[in-house]
Amino acid sequence: MSNTNPNSASWTDRHLDRDTLYRIGLYVVMYGIAIAFFVPYWRMFQLSVTPMSVITEGGFHWIPPEFTFAVWQRYLFEEPIIYQWTFNTFMIASITTLIVLVVDSMIAFSLTRLEWPGQSAVLGIIMASFMIPGYVNIIPLYTLVNNLGLMNSYWAIILPFAAGPLGVFLLVQFFRDIPEELEEAARLDGFSTLRIYARIILPLSTPILTALGLFVFIWSWNQFLWPLIVLNDDALYTLPIGVVTLRDVNALAPNIIMTSLALASLPLFIVFLLFQDKLISSVQMQAGTG
Amino acid sequence: MTNVEQSAIGGRTGAIREWLHQRSTREFLAGILFAGPYLALFTVFLLYPLLKGLYMSLFEWNFLNPAESTYVGLDNYARLLSDPAFWNALWNTLEFVLLTVPLIVVISLVLALGLNKELIGSRLLQFLYFSPYVLTVSVIALVWSRMFAQAGVGTQVLGWLFEGSPLNSELWAMPAIVIATVWWQAGFYFAVLLAARQNVPERLYQAARLDGASPWRMFRDITLPHMKNALLFVVIASTIFQFQVFGQPYLMTQGGPVGSTETLVMYLYQLGFETRELGFGAAVGYTLLLILVLVSLVNYKIVGTTDE
């Protein structure tokens, strides 16, 4: 290119111009999309502070002519129902995460560090279950949970999807790469199998366990269809189900609906703010499953 | 086993063999114990319902008194194939998948390539793009119901296309649900693609720039080939996920207007939990499973042949 442009100064100028234009275009696109992405958040917040008098007048506002935090105050300090749902959701998501981390790491340890007949077949079956999306099974699962007497309990939500293939897949990959020598040295020191699992393998796997745990926690927190099926007692509702029932009784009060949605979203937003990089890398880690 | 014990039995090969045998027995037992909790959950809550579902699908299942269920053979499947509601739900689901997946791929790719450059405020941008992923589907659906209500933003922006809310239009209700879904999920796939883009060696671009390659050529000959696996992951994962769409249409349109947003999982949900036709519902579940396995196999085949 420099051959066709012996005058290098003018070449640089033109080149810089194109680069500048390109950067301006890039900013316009990226911030344009960001603004579009922000609009639903703004509407959620804005409607939550708009008084009913303004809402019933109709019309469309970006910024409400008057605002009030009365609904926020009501659900933060006067009516405990959203706290109750948050507590349920938190308990279910925490127990699910704990169970998944324990049983997944145990079987991954067993499949990679211990030898027993049939283990490759077992791994094969677990991996094949990647092809069975949870929702297709809900009818027989429902009769099962009903027969076990688990309806309307935390366990009805926790147990059915605790044995997924993703965690096993990720941990098997990770455990395989932990050097054999560490384990042999520990065995010579008289470590039992349980201590090797708990004192050597688990501590070395903290990053992947954190990533998997975050992913499972968020997935469990946000579950919708299954809790909708197995819960019908509003004291046991999770946030995703609870906000829908609030919508149903307050259909004409968007300020109440939007406040409840904002409150329901806050906990995971805080988790996300605290663990932004960890969470994003937990998503990126999954692409390895393709 | 201590050193003292070992030297005591040393030399006697039979005893050593016995020790080895013991060790493998112990390892076998430990292996089963460690695998046990997962396998118990897996068997009870995945394998058993899978077989039970196949069994149920052959009956007119009586929920309150299963012993009184009537065996009907493959009638449920025959009924399914002649049920216009099934074909409507299948068609709507395909429409949803075919609109959503390409939009997600294009938008998440644009976001990933853009944010790969040094931008002012890139952390804020990343937060905005990714954050909808941590919201639950009911928040997505209820916020966007409002966005598309008579006095909503979506209706203001797209008002020239139709009268009133798109959610009341047979033609526009599905695209409205697609837009809500893209807002919810593009960030997830953006994160995957951003990592893939950052893994492309920068020296390839430097070399290409020295050769005077245009941005388009660099995109086509460097970026795309290096991101192929990640892009395939995005296509496969989002296709399988979108096939099971439920919450958005269930909450935004209840499948309407006139069934135009009724999807397969909604159809399954109604049979199982509204009309309680569990046997027929199980047949629908199995059919959905077959469709999804087929989709995965086709996808894996594509991955397999392009990976060489």
> Which residue do the tokens 């033609």 mark?
B171
Report whether pLDDT(B264) > 50: yes
> Which pTM value belongs to this model?
0.87
**Contacts with A284 from chain B: Cβ below 8 Å:** 191-192, 194-195
State whether residue A28 sits within 8 Å of chain B by CB: no
Helices (H), chain B: 3-9, 13-42, 48-56, 75-81, 84-116, 122-130, 137-147, 153-157, 173-198, 202-210, 215-218, 224-226, 228-243, 247-252, 264-273, 278-306
State whether residue B58 sits within 8 Å of chain A by CB: no
Helix axes B278-306, B48-56, angle to 10 degrees: 120
Position A2 scores a pLDDT of 42
Q: Which fold has domain B78-306?
A: MetI-like fold (1.10.3720)
Quote the DSSP letter at residue B172. Answer: T
Are A39 and B107 a contacting pair at CB < 8 A?
Answer: no
Low-confidence winner among A48-62, A199-213, A219-233, B255-269 (lowest mean pLDDT): A48-62
The three-class DSSP label of residue A290 is coil
CATH number of this structure's domain A80-289? 1.10.3720.10
State whether residue A129 sits within 8 Å of chain B by CB: yes
**Contacts with B153 from chain A: Cβ below 8 Å:** 39, 43, 60
- φ/ψ (deg, to 5) at B59: -125, 160
The three-class DSSP label of residue B60 is strand
Section A96-104 average pLDDT: 96
Q: Using CA atoms of B48, B49, B52, B56 in order, give the dihedral in degrees to the nearest 10.
A: 180
Report whether pLDDT(B75) > 90: no
Section A92-111 average pLDDT: 95
CA distance A39 to B59: 50
Interface of B with A in 100-159 (CB under 8 A): 107, 110-111, 114-115, 117, 119-120, 124-139, 142-144, 146-147, 151-153, 156
Nearest chain B residue (CA) to A36: B183
State whether residue A135 sits within 8 Å of chain B by CB: yes
Report whether pLDDT(A290) > 50: no
Size of interface A-B (CB pairs under 8 A): 263
**Contacts with A1 from chain B: Cβ below 8 Å:** 212
- Who's near A267: CB < 8 A, 6+ residues apart? A86, A89, A90, A221
> Which residue do the tokens 């909708």 mark?
A228
Task: Tell me the CA distances in angstroms from B192 to A164, B95, B227, B234, one per residue in order.
Answer: 21, 25, 10, 8
Q: Output the DSSP codes for B95-133.
A: HHHHHHHHHHHHHHHHHHHHHHS--TTHHHHHHHHHGGG
If one counts every other C-beta atom within 10 angstroms of the C-beta of residue B266, the result is 23
State the ipTM, two decimals.
0.86
The 10s digit of each residue's pLDDT in A195-210 is 888 888 899 999 889 9
Q: Output the DSSP codes for A225-274.
A: HHHHHH---TTT--HHHHHHHHHHH-TT-HHHHHHHHHHHHHHHHHHHHH
Residue B43 exposure: Cα atoms within 13 Å on the Cβ side: 7
Residue B250 exposure: Cα atoms within 13 Å on the Cβ side: 19
The answer to whether the CB of A141 falls within 8 A of the CB of B50 is no
State whether residue A232 sits within 8 Å of chain B by CB: no
Q: Which residue has the higher pLDDT, A287 or A39?
A: A39
Distance from CA of B14 to the nearest CA of A (A): 22
CA distance B215 to A92: 49
Number of alpha helices (DSSP H) and beta strands (DSSP E) in chain A: 16, 0
How does residue B1 score in pLDDT terms, banded at 50, 70 and 90?
Answer: very low
The CATH 1.10.3720.10 portion of chain A extends over 80-289
State whether residue A283 sits within 8 Å of chain B by CB: yes
Q: Which amino acid is at A235?
A: A
Of A208, A100, A106, A47, the closest CA to residue B34 belongs to: A106
The shortest CB-CB distance from A110 to any of B34, B110, B126 is to: B34
Distance from CA of A78 to the nearest CA of B (A): 22
The 10s digit of each residue's pLDDT in B98-127 is 999 999 999 999 999 988 888 888 888 988
Report whether pLDDT(A139) > 60: yes
Position B42 scores a pLDDT of 94
How does residue A10 score in pLDDT terms, banded at 50, 70 and 90?
Answer: low
How does residue B137 score in pLDDT terms, banded at 50, 70 and 90?
Answer: very high
State the Cα angle at B130 between B103 and A251, rounded to 5°: 80
Position B17 scores a pLDDT of 62
Instruction: Give me A72's structure tokens.
Output: 């926020």
Are A40 and B143 a contacting pair at CB < 8 A?
Answer: yes
State whether residue A106 sits within 8 Å of chain B by CB: yes
The answer to whether the CB of B152 falls within 8 A of the CB of A40 is no
How does residue A1 score in pLDDT terms, banded at 50, 70 and 90?
Answer: very low
The shortest CB-CB distance from B137 to any of A38, A240, A258 is to: A240
Section B251-275 average pLDDT: 89
Distance from CA of A72 to the nearest CA of B (A): 17
**Contacts with A193 from chain B: Cβ below 8 Å:** 26-27, 30, 34
Distance from CA of A149 to the nearest CA of B (A): 14
CA distance B248 to B147: 13
Phi-psi region of B164 (alpha: psi -120 to 50; beta: other; left: phi over 0): left
